[in-house]
Amino acid sequence: MRIALGQLNLTVGDLGGNVDSLAAWTREAAGHDADLICFPELAITGYPPEDLVLRPSFVEANLEAVVELARRAAGGPAVLVGFVDRTDRGLHNAAALLRDGQVEARYHKHQLPNYGVFDEKRYFVPGETGCRLRVADATLGISVCEDAWWPDAPFDEYAGRVQVIPNINGSPYHRRKTHERLEICAARARQTGAWIVYVNLIGGQDELVFDGGSMVVSPDGELAWHAPDFEEDLLVVDVPGTGDGERKPSLPDPTREPWPTGPEEVYRAVVLGVGDYVRKNGFGQVVVGLSGGIDSSMTATMAADALGPEAVRALAMPSPYSSPESVEDAREVAGRLGIRLDVVPIGAVFDSYRGALAEVLSGRGAGVTEENLQARIRGNYLMAVSNAFGSIVLATGNKSELAVGYSTLYGDLAGGFAPLKDVPKTLVYELARWRNKQTDPPPIPERVLEKPPSAELRPGQLDTDSLPPYEVLDPIVEAYVEDDRSPEDLIAEGADPAMVRRIVEMIDRAEYKRRQAPPGVKITPKAFGRDRRMPITNAYRGRPLSPPASTPPRPDGAAEEGD
C-alpha cells in the first residue's frame, strides 16, 4: 500500500485553518496516488490544546471539524487524523479514520502520559480496545504517540495480526530525542512483526518545539525511510501489503538528508520555536537589547534567521560602565545581520534615578541596587519600543544565569519570550561557533566569542566575580536540575563540596525569580517552568551539607545582570 506521512505545522485552536491545511495535504497525497495519509496527534485541535478541551464548545467544534475534513477529503485517500473524541466515559485523545466522506472508525489512545510536559490524565480517559481495519491490501492497527512507548495495549493485541501500525504523534523535541524514538519504533516493530509508520508534528507551541522526524520502520526494526527534522514534509512510501492485486507503479526511494545532530539540531529547534511563537501570536517584529555580549548577539542572530533581518530591531543601551568595545561589537553584529540598531545611552536616566533616591538610600555605599537600576532602565527602554511599534521583546538570558538567579527582575528578565532560556552558557558558545561556520561573514565577531562574559554594571566587572566558571557551573546545574541528583551524590562522585553547596543554594534561592521569567524554547529533557515545577515557598534542602551560608539572600533575590 502507498502511505503518505503528513508532517505539518499546525496551530492550537485554529480549527478552521488546521482543516484547510489537512485538506490541502490530502489533495497533494491524492496526486501521489496514496491509499492513506496519516496526520499527527490532535491535528484537528493543534497540540497540546491544554485547558481548551475543558470547554464543551471547543470539543463540539473540533468534532464538527472532523466531519468537515471527512467531507472535503471524499474521493481521495483514506485519512488518519488526531482529534478529541467524546463518549459517555469522558474525553479521549483519539484518531479517526476518514473514508468516502465519512468517519469510518475511531481509536482512543490507551497510554496517557502524565510526566514532564505532559498532563493528559487531567483531560482524557484511556481507551479500552484496539482498532484494526483494512486499507488497500494491508491490515492496519491504529495507535497514538505514547502507546508505542509500552509493549502493552494496544501493541500486544496487534502482534502478528496486522501488517502496518500507524503511530500518530505530537512528540516535543529535546536534545538527541530523535534516536530515542527510533529505538522505540524498532522495538515495537520487532514485537509485532509489523511496519511502524511514525508521524510527528513540527512547529513551535509556547515553550515546546515539535521537530518532526517522521519515519517508517520495517518489521525487523530497521529504519526504512524518514522525513526531515524542523520542516514540513510529505513523505510518500510504498509499504508491502498482503494482497495479490495489481501493484501501483513503484515510487523511487524517498531520500532525505540525515537528521541534524549536535549544535545544529539545537539551533534549528530554537529558531523554529522563536519564529512560530512570534508569528502565531500575531507579532511582526521583535526588539532585542544588543549589548555586544555573546547572549544578546546569539539572540539577535537567531531572531534574524527565524524572522528575517527586517523584522528585528536592536537597542544598544550603554551605561557609564559599558566599554567602547561593547558598543562597537553591537554595531558590528547588527551590521553583519542587517538589522536596525539604535544606540540609546542610559547614563542620564541612571543619574536621575540615583538623584531621586539619594535621600532614601543615603548612608549606604553603591552596590547591587545601582547595578540592577541599570538593568531595569534598559528593560523600560525595550518595553517602550515594544509598546510604540507593536513588537515583542526577546529576553537574552540563558539557562545558566536563570538557574542561579544571575539576572534582574524587571530588567534583563523583562520580555515576552526568551530564546536561550533552556540553553546553558557553554552551549550558547557552541551554537555561536556552529552558526558562524554557516555564512560568510559570520554573524558574531571573534572578539565577542573571546572576551570574558561581563554584565558591565560596575567598573571591571566579570561574571566570575559572582559565579563559578561556566565550565564548572553548567555540569552541576545539569545534574541537580535535569537529572534530580542530590548534592550528596555529586560530592560522593568527587565534586568540590563548597562549590556544590554554593551552586545548589543559589538554584534553590532563585525559584521565585524563575517563576516570573518569560517562556522560552525547551531544548533539554527538563526545562525550567514547563518541566521542573518546584514550590517557591520551600524549606527542604536535603540533608545538611554544612552550616547555613553566612551571606543571606539579597532582598530582591537578584544577582547582577547576566551578559
pLDDT grade for 66, boundaries at 50, 70 and 90: very high
Q: What is the mean pLDDT of residues 95-124?
A: 95
* pLDDT tens per residue across span 510-556: 999 999 999 999 999 999 988 888 888 888 777 654 544 444 344 34
Is the pLDDT reported for residue 251 higher than 80? no
- Residues 6 or more apart whose CB falls under 8 angstroms from that of 254 comprise 225, 235, 236, 237
User: Which residues of the chain form CATH 3.40.50.620?
Assistant: 263-514
User: Which parts of 32-172 fold into alpha helices (H)?
Assistant: 56-73, 155-158
Confidence at 253, pLDDT banded by 50, 70, 90: confident
List where CATH 3.60.110.10 sits in the chain.
2-241
Residues 464 and 368: their CA atoms lie apart, in Å, by 16
pLDDT in tens, 183-193: 999 999 999 99
Cα 187 → chain centroid = 26
Chain centre distance of CA 250: 38
Give the DSSP letter string of 163-187: SEEEEEE--B--TTHHHHHHHHHHH
> What confidence tens digit (pLDDT) does each residue in 470-511 have?
999 999 999 999 999 999 999 999 999 999 999 999 999 999
Taking the CA atoms of residue 20, residue 25, residue 26 and residue 31 in that order, the dihedral angle to the nearest 10 degrees is: 140
Q: Which residue has the cell 510536559?
A: 117
Go through 346-365 and write b for each residue having 16 or more CB atoms within 10 A of its CB, e for each that does not. Answer: beebbeebeeeeeeeeeeee
d(CA 511, CA 520): 16
C-alpha cell at 155: 501493541
Q: What is the model's pLDDT at position 530?
A: 82
Please state the rounded mean pLDDT for residues 428-435: 98
Give the residue with greater pLDDT, 169 vs 367. Answer: 169
Quote the pLDDT of residue 552.
39
The model's confidence at residue 252, banded by pLDDT at 50, 70 and 90, is: low
Q: What is the mean pLDDT of residues 198-209?
A: 97
The residues assigned a catalytic role are 41, 109, 145
**CB 475, CB 500: distance < 8 Å:** no
Cis peptide leading into 441, omega within 30 of 0?
yes
Q: What's the half-sphere exposure (Cβ side, CA atoms, 13 Å) at 381?
A: 25
Q: Which CATH superfamily is domain 263-514 in?
A: HUPs (3.40.50.620)
How far apart are the C-alpha atoms of 344 and 351, rounded to whole Å? 15
SS3 94: strand
Q: What's the CATH class of domain 2-241?
A: alpha beta
Count Cα neighbours of 493 within 13 Å in the Cβ-side half-sphere.
Answer: 10
| Residue 551, pLDDT score | 43
Average pLDDT over residues 13-36: 98
Strand (E) positions, 251-311? Answer: 286-289
- In this prediction, residue 457 carries a pLDDT of 83
